Structure formats: C-alpha cells, structure tokens
A and B are shown apart, each in its own frame.
Chain A
Amino acid sequence: MHQLERVTNLLALLLSARRHLTFEEIRTQLKGQYPENLVAARAAFERDKAILRDEGVPIDSEVQGGDKAGMTGYLIKRSAYELGDLDLSTQEAAALRVAVSTLRMGQSWGEEALWKVDMEEHGSQLVTTSAHATLLVHPNLPLLHEALIKKVAVGFTYSDRKRVVEPYGLLARSGWWYLVGHDQSVNAERTFRVDRIEGEVSILRDIACTRPSGFDIRKAFPVDLKELPGAIDVGGEVAQVLVNASDVGVVLGQYTQSAVVENRPDGSVVFQVPCSNVQAFEQWLFGFLDRAEVLAPPALRQHVIDWLLEMTGSVTRGER
C-alpha cells in the first residue's frame, strides 16, 4: 500500500471519529495497512502523524481512562481542521488574486492559499498585473509571523548568540525583512535582519509577549539606513556633502529641498545627509564616484580619505 493512501485513510478515520481512537483501534480499523510487527507498525504510525502535523492538520491527543487507561487517543476535530467560510464576494476574491500576483515571493504559498480561500475560481489563480514587487521571503518568516500573531516569544541564533526575543513587529523595507522585538538576553529592544538569523526559529509558546502600546513597526525602524546607529563615531550624525551639478537632481529626489545647505554658482549643491551609520553612508557616497565630496564632519571626511588611501596601498589598516 502506498503511504499516501494510508495517510489519507488515517486522516479520513480521525476526522470521522466521534471519540479519541487509540493506536490499536486505528490499526484494527485500517486493517492490514500497518505492518504486522508492532514496533514497525508504531514507527509507521508516528511517521504518518508527523506528515499530517507538518501539513497543518491539528491532531488532538488525549490520555485515555477506564479500560484504556494510560493509552493515548487521537482525534481530529472538524472545527479545528476546516477553514472557516470567508464568504468572499467575487470582487474580493479577484482582489486577493491580484494581490497574490502582485507580490512575487519566490514561493508558491500564495497560490496554495488562494486554492483554499477561493474555491469558486477556475483556471489559473494568478493574473497579469502592470505593477508588481519582488520581495523574497525567508523560510523562517511564516513562523515569526505566527509568533507575532499569537503574541509569544521566539528563539534563534543571531551573530553567534542564542536569543529569546519577544516579537513586536515584522517589517519589509528596502528589499529586506526585519524583526523588531525585545531581546531578553540583553533586556533591550533590538532589530534583526531575518535572512541573517542562523538556522531555524523556534516558537516558545510558554513565553508570552506584551507589545508596547501604540507600537508602530513603521516608526520603529528608520526609512534611511544611514540613520541606523553605527559602530564608527565621526563626531556627528549629519554630514555635509558637496554634490556636482550633474547629480543634484538625484539627491534632491532622495532628500528634497529641505536638505540643501548651500547652492553654489557652478550649480553644485551642499546637502545635509544622515551619517549615523558610516557604512551605509559610504555605500551611498561612493555611488557618485568623484562627483561628490564630504565636507563635514572632519572625522568623516578623514575616514573617507583613509578608506581611499588604503585602497591605493598608501595606508594600511593598522595605521588608520
């Protein structure tokens, strides 16, 4: 017998049962489907249960009393198994199809979800849209999202350290996913880039999470990465950068007129640009090659010069 057939039979049996069934009762009912050998049969049963649970089937287990005292019984409650009726209108279902088609995550999770929530639809679930976004998802994201919904903590390793984090929010920004939460190991709020979590995330259902009232994930994390706290102190959080006339339009598009400090006669402009995170700032600055120059703070200007001198071999890292 194919394992899929046996697993489907087990699912049908546990869904149809009116009370918890013990392994022996299941084995008797599914006659001849599990091996004769008790140990092998038990192992096969455990594998079948694991497949069902991995697929999200809620198998309820309960230790029995009476003449089955000490034995575990199994049941699938139909109310827990079945997806409730969403009662989507035609327009609402179509809008969900557009939404799933709009976000390209590199996974088929969205299409699989549409199969369930939109049972009326024939043909392909995805539609062609004139605008879309690609935002790759990490396998750990759904579990982090579930922990967020259930308001429980998660455990994972990050930067070689084991963490227990109470999740406050999940945010996708600039193409990356971030988790913001209370890191119990340092007793402070921290931000983690989800793709840099090492290994798998575990949900710690016993540790409840209380989100600060009024918490808004959009405000908990700066839009401009150059505003993130950095490890290098350059004596200021805002840089003055002289930008050639040819590139002024681009910087205005990023920082608007409010960032202008000085308009020079040759069309070049001095801008104020955040530099709390020197690494992020330099990544931005070097996009202009020699068409932009840091004027202040002096320590930042020197940092840029040293970076360049090191590239030419004039200065080694030890001298910096």
Chain B
Amino acid sequence: MTRRGPRPINIRLRRLLVMLPWLMERENVSTQEMADHFLMSVDDLVADLTLASLCGVSQDPRDLIDLWVDEDEVHFGIPKYFDRPLRLTVTEAFSLVASAAAAEQIPGADVDGALSRAITKVQAVLAIDNDDSFAIDLGTPDTVAPLVDAALGQQIVEFDYWSVATGQSVRRRVVPIEVFAERDHWYVRSFDTEAQAERTFRLDRLDDLQTIKQSMAVTPSARGEWFSSLQERQVVTLEVDPSWLWVLEQYSGVAVSASSATSSSSSHSWVTVEVVVSSERWLQRVLLRFGCHARLVTPSEWADLAGATAELVLTRYGTTKGTSSAGSSIP
C-alpha cells in the first residue's frame, strides 16, 4: 500500500468551496456519490466535511456551516456563507475555452449547436471577446468523421494503408475503436479483423476509406502506452546535443527516460537519452534527422547505423563517402 502525505490545503479549500454549494442544491446525498463526483475517497470527503461543519464567523453553533454526516449520508441545513461557487479561476476559464475550441473541430462534439451556445454563455460571464485571437487547429482530416461514425456503430471499414517501413500500401479491414489526435497527427485505434488484434493507424497514411455495411462487436482493451504491444520493442541510448533535443518532440510515445550530462568532443555537454524504438527503419529516420547532433551509444549492433543510413541516401544523389557531390538532375 502506498503511503501518502497530507493533502495540500489549497486543494482541500478549492474542493470545499465547490462542494458546499453543490451540497446545498441537494440537501441530502450519499457520501459515496459525493466522493465519486469530486474524485476523492469517502474518508477524505468525510474528513473535509467534518472540518467544514466546525467553520463559521464565530464558534456560536448558530454561525457554523449547517451540515452533518450521519451514517453514509451527508445532510445540509440552512445555507449561510457559500451559496454559489467561487468564480472560475484563470486556469478553469482557460480549460473551458480551450476544450470548446478543440471540440468544435471534432465531428459529433457539437450536437445542434449546444456547445456553441454553452461557450457563448461562459464567455459572457468571463467577459471574453469572441474574436479571432484564440484558436486550436487540430488539422482534422476528412476521414475523421466516417471513422467516428464507424466507431460508434462498430462498423467494419476498409482502407489502403501505406507502411512507412516498406513503402507499400496494403488493404486493411478493421473496426474502429477510437479516433484521436496526438501531436501533429491523427490516428485510429482499431480491431484488425485479419490480425485479430488491435492496431493503430495514422490517418494521413490511409487512402480509399470505405465503410462496409457490416458491424462487428468488439471489446476494446484499455488504451495502452505507445509501443506496449510491440514484441520487438527496443531501448536505444543516444548522446544528443541538447539544443537538438527538439527533434524527438515530434514523436508521440517517445519516452526520453534518462538525461544526464556527459562530455563529448564538442565544446559543450551533450545529454544521454533513452528512446524506445519500434523498428530499425524508424531509428534510421531519427538518426538522419539528428545528423551529427546525436550519436548512438547502445545497442552496439546499431553503432554504424547512422553512417550506413547516410550512405544509403547519398547513393540517391550519386554521391558516396569520399566522393564530391554529384550534379543535380533538375528536370
């Protein structure tokens, strides 16, 4: 069992100030329901409510907050101080505006304009101008809408999927489970009817999407970490020029799990990072993107991979190690 320290006072106060008006609206509610709603344990809830019942402008019982916990029920009496929740904090206001801006770009999130109306009311209370100074651009591709529909109806879809490893497209038949955007790309997590397993596909690599008039019940697993289903998962250690760490930022699911200073031939310290890679081809692209700003440390069998990959691409330019660059073939 994990031991935990005392809960921070600011968190407890924040909860209390929203719990009291919520309780006032209901008057009686079970401790379990209330704890579930406010994402806390029953023990913590009872502790905070018991403390609140001792609060007021004086210790005269008539001045105390009128609530009590009896068995598994919370009871609220006469409202005295906290009839309404505290105004939205800066972070809460931001989260609502951002959520609405993102959801407006996701098919099915704004049914009959209800979200637009809701956010207009929120903006009015917060005195926010509805202008063009704030935006979330998810770059939602056209394929999201039919895939979301298929996920809702558990319908089978087919598409050509281009494999970055082989450069070839293969027809896939899947039942979409969820469609999601992460970093710069959209993905669909699906049940692949041929592989009889869950697979995740990048939407900009699929083509000729067709919905089949056939449904199939699938029980999705809990969404795991990226690469968790890969049997050939491999951890690679790189030494990286810290000013080039941004190269790794574009990869969803890449865990930079260790970082320590190390010396190098360059004038400043490089950092050591561990990267979970999905395939050798994937690592080749990462190494090309780093160029001479990273060195592969382990595993040793890939020690020459960066140089070999660079030579492979150089042949495309009619150039090899030790030769000068060839002339271009401009059409």
Q: How far is the CB of B120 from chain A (nearest CB, A)?
A: 9
B102 A103 Cβ-Cβ under 8 A:
yes
B284 A295 Cβ-Cβ under 8 A:
no
Identify which of A84, A217, A261 contacts B135 (C-beta below 8 A).
Answer: A217
Identify which of B21, B181, B287 contacts A133 (C-beta below 8 A).
Answer: B181
- Which residues in B have their C-beta under 8 angstroms from that of A117? 88, 96, 122
Q: Which of A253-293 contact B (CB under 8 A)?
A: 253-254, 261-262, 270, 282-283, 286-287, 289-291, 293
Q: How far is the CB of A203 from chain B (nearest CB, A)?
A: 10
- Which residues in B have their C-beta under 8 angstroms from that of A175? 182-184
B182 A98 Cβ-Cβ under 8 A:
no
Q: When A286-B288, A309-B321 are in contact, do A132 and B312 touch as well, CB less than 8 Å? A: no
Q: Which of B9-53 contact A (CB under 8 A)?
A: 9-10, 12-14, 16-18, 21-22, 25, 33, 36-39, 48, 51-52
Q: Report the separation of the CA atoms of residues A16 and B62 in the bound assembly, to the nearest whole angstrom.
A: 14
- Which residues in B have their C-beta under 8 angstroms from that of A298? 328, 330
Q: Report the separation of the CA atoms of residues A216 and B48 in the bound assembly, to the nearest whole angstrom.
A: 46
Q: Which of B191-242 contact A (CB under 8 A)?
A: 204-205, 207
Identify which of A86, A116, A146, A253 contacts B121 (C-beta below 8 A).
Answer: A86
- Which residues in B have their C-beta under 8 angstroms from that of A86? 118, 121-122, 125
A131 B107 Cβ-Cβ under 8 A:
yes
Question: Which residue, of B92, B109, B125, B181, has the highest number of chain A Cβ atoms within 10 A?
Answer: B92
Check: A59 CB closer than 8 A to any chain B CB: no
A55 B17 Cβ-Cβ under 8 A:
yes
Q: How far is the CB of B135 from chain A (nearest CB, A)?
A: 5
Q: When A16-B57, A113-B92 are in contact, do A145 and B97 touch as well, CB less than 8 Å? A: yes
B86 A98 Cβ-Cβ under 8 A:
no
A133 B328 Cβ-Cβ under 8 A:
no
- Which residues in A have their C-beta under 8 angstroms from that of B14? 55, 112
B93 A113 Cβ-Cβ under 8 A:
yes
A295 B51 Cβ-Cβ under 8 A:
no
Q: When A111-B39, A283-B250 are in contact, do A82 and B16 touch as well, CB less than 8 Å? A: no
Check: A37 CB closer than 8 A to any chain B CB: no
- Which residues in A have their C-beta under 8 angstroms from that of B306? 311
Check: B285 CB closer than 8 A to any chain A CB: yes
A240 B127 Cβ-Cβ under 8 A:
no
Q: How many residues of A contact B (CB 8 A)?
A: 126
Q: How far is the CB of B112 from chain A (nearest CB, A)?
A: 7
B135 A218 Cβ-Cβ under 8 A:
yes
Identify which of B97, B108, B132 contacts A169 (C-beta below 8 A).
Answer: B132
- Chain B, interface size category, equals 35 or more
- Which residues in B have their C-beta under 8 angstroms from that of A88? 118, 121
Check: A149 CB closer than 8 A to any chain B CB: yes
B51 A4 Cβ-Cβ under 8 A:
yes
Closest residue of chain A to B98, judged by CB?
A: A103
B137 A171 Cβ-Cβ under 8 A:
yes
Identify which of B52, B87, B96, B119 contacts A8 (C-beta below 8 A).
Answer: B52
Q: How far is the CB of B247 from chain A (nearest CB, A)?
A: 7
B331 A99 Cβ-Cβ under 8 A:
no
Q: Report the separation of the CA atoms of residues A250 and B164 in the bound assembly, to the nearest whole angstrom.
A: 10
Over the window 113-130 of chain B, the binary record of Cβ atoms lying under 8 Å from chain A Cβ atoms (1 yes, 0 no) is 011011101100111110
Of B68-76, B144-152, B254-262, B270-278, which binds chain A?
B144-152
B94 A250 Cβ-Cβ under 8 A:
no
- Which residues in B have their C-beta under 8 angstroms from that of A206? none
Q: Report the separation of the CA atoms of residues A58 and B90 in the bound assembly, to the nearest whole angstrom.
A: 12
Over the window 206-237 of chain A, the binary record of Cβ atoms lying under 8 Å from chain B Cβ atoms (1 yes, 0 no) is 00000100011110000100000000000000
A249 B54 Cβ-Cβ under 8 A:
no
Check: B89 CB closer than 8 A to any chain A CB: yes
Over the window 299-331 of chain B, the binary record of Cβ atoms lying under 8 Å from chain A Cβ atoms (1 yes, 0 no) is 000000011011111111101011001001111
Identify which of A92, A169, A216, A246 contacts B117 (C-beta below 8 A).
Answer: A92
Question: Which residue, of A7, A57, A107, A286, has the highest number of chain B Cβ atoms within 10 A?
Answer: A286
Of A38-46, A63-71, A300-308, which binds chain B?
A300-308
Q: How far is the CB of B260 from chain A (nearest CB, A)?
A: 21
- Which residues in A have their C-beta under 8 angstroms from that of B92? 109-110, 112-113, 116
Q: Report the separation of the CA atoms of residues A170 and B97 in the bound assembly, to the nearest whole angstrom.
A: 12
B291 A174 Cβ-Cβ under 8 A:
no
Check: A185 CB closer than 8 A to any chain B CB: no
Q: Report the separation of the CA atoms of residues A57 and B323 in the bound assembly, to the nearest whole angstrom.
A: 70
- Which residues in B have their C-beta under 8 angstroms from that of A187? none
Q: When A92-B117, A122-B37 are in contact, do A215 and B9 touch as well, CB less than 8 Å? A: no
A289 B328 Cβ-Cβ under 8 A:
no
Closest residue of chain A to B185, judged by CB?
A: A175
Q: When A8-B55, A83-B87 are in contact, do A134 and B181 touch as well, CB less than 8 Å? A: yes
Check: A199 CB closer than 8 A to any chain B CB: no
A116 B313 Cβ-Cβ under 8 A:
no
Over the window 279-303 of chain B, the binary record of Cβ atoms lying under 8 Å from chain A Cβ atoms (1 yes, 0 no) is 0010011011101100000000000
Q: When A98-B109, A100-B99, A310-B292 are in contact, do A250 and B204 touch as well, CB less than 8 Å? A: yes
Check: B158 CB closer than 8 A to any chain A CB: no
When A and B form their complex, which 8 residue pairs have the shortest distance between CB atoms, in order from nearest? A175-B183, A246-B167, A311-B310, A113-B92, A99-B103, A92-B118, A109-B95, A95-B115
Given A8-B55, A135-B136, 15 further pairs, Cβ under 8 A: A52-B13, A54-B10, A55-B17, A96-B99, A103-B103, A107-B91, A131-B180, A132-B178, A149-B129, A218-B135, A246-B168, A282-B289, A289-B281, A289-B309, A309-B319
Q: What are 24 of the A-B contact pairs (CB < 8 Å)?
A: A8-B13, A12-B81, A31-B58, A52-B13, A55-B13, A82-B84, A92-B114, A95-B109, A105-B95, A112-B95, A122-B37, A142-B89, A142-B94, A145-B93, A146-B90, A148-B134, A171-B135, A173-B139, A217-B135, A218-B135, A247-B162, A250-B204, A283-B250, A289-B281
